[in-house]
Amino acid sequence: MRVVILTAAAALSATVALAAGAELRRSETFDVIPDRTERSVALFEEMAKVITHPRCMNCHPADNIPRQGDERRLHHPPMVRGDEASFGPAGLHCNSCHGSENVAVVGHDRDIPGHDPWQLAPASMAWIGLSVPEICVQLKDPARNGNRSLADIHTHLATDGLVGWGWHPGKGREPAPGTQEILGELTQAWIETGAACPK
């Protein structure tokens, strides 16, 4: 892991690290709901604990500005989405600061997050400002989800490394609830019960 030294002022402005991620119920917990559609909705609402967590939402902005931290503040230094690939503007791509792994910063209580690749979700996949039902509808819409099938969505949520970073965000950030494995199980069960959305 690389180490970066920040000024004393930056170290003083850092926030305190937060506790570990909250619980996420496993898919079989919902087997007691007899109605298939109601069970599917309940599964998505459980998935939404991850989807609406800052580890996911920070990279799904509607205004092309990434968010940071558990408080979802605007990215500092200022940054924008850039081109359609969402890697940041020309000459200052996200990987200019975000490497392939989290970076410890001496005198600072937060790591610089990292993963290869590090990027925002495409603009069509903006979630900030949407309700859970609206996110669900958007997630299922190939015109707004990167032309993904439900099986592709499962693969993305269950195995994608950048999604997985949400459970290993480094010092100073709350991990997403549960584990990526549990999110994958919930997503598969949601699909198998009809991929119903909350109203």
What is the Cα–Cα distance from 80 to 121, expressed in whole angstroms? 12
Domain-located, residue 199: no
Residue 8 belongs to some domain of the structure: yes
Predicted confidence band at 81 (pLDDT cuts at 50, 70, 90)?
A: confident
Domain-located, residue 197: no
33 Cα distance to chain centroid: 28
Q: Is the pLDDT of residue 159 over 60?
A: yes
**If you average pLDDT over every residue of the chain, what do you get?**
87
Cα 20 to its chain centre, rounded Å, is 16
User: What integer pLDDT is reported at residue 110 of this predicted model?
Assistant: 87
CA proximity to 190, closest of 160, 158, 162, 159: 158
Q: Residue 174: which domain range? A: 3-192
* Average pLDDT, integer, range 169-174: 92
What is the number of structural domains in the chain? 1
Structure confidence at residue 22 (pLDDT) = 61
Mean pLDDT along residues 83-91:
78
Q: pLDDT by residue (tens digit) across 22-39?
A: 699 999 999 999 999 999
Q: Is residue 155 part of a domain?
A: yes
Flag whether pLDDT at 8 surpasses 90. no
Pairing of strands 73-74, 67-68: antiparallel
Average pLDDT of span 85-102: 86
Task: Give the residue with greater pLDDT, 161 vs 91.
Answer: 161
Mean pLDDT value across residues 40-69? 95
Q: Is residue 198 part of a domain?
A: no
Mean pLDDT of 105-121: 89
DSSP 3-state of 163 = helix
Torsion 187-184-154-31 (CA) sign: negative
Q: What is the mean pLDDT of residues 91-101?
A: 88
Poorest-confidence range of 1-10, 83-92, 111-120, 156-165?
A: 1-10
Instruction: Indicate whether 119 belongs to any domain.
Output: yes
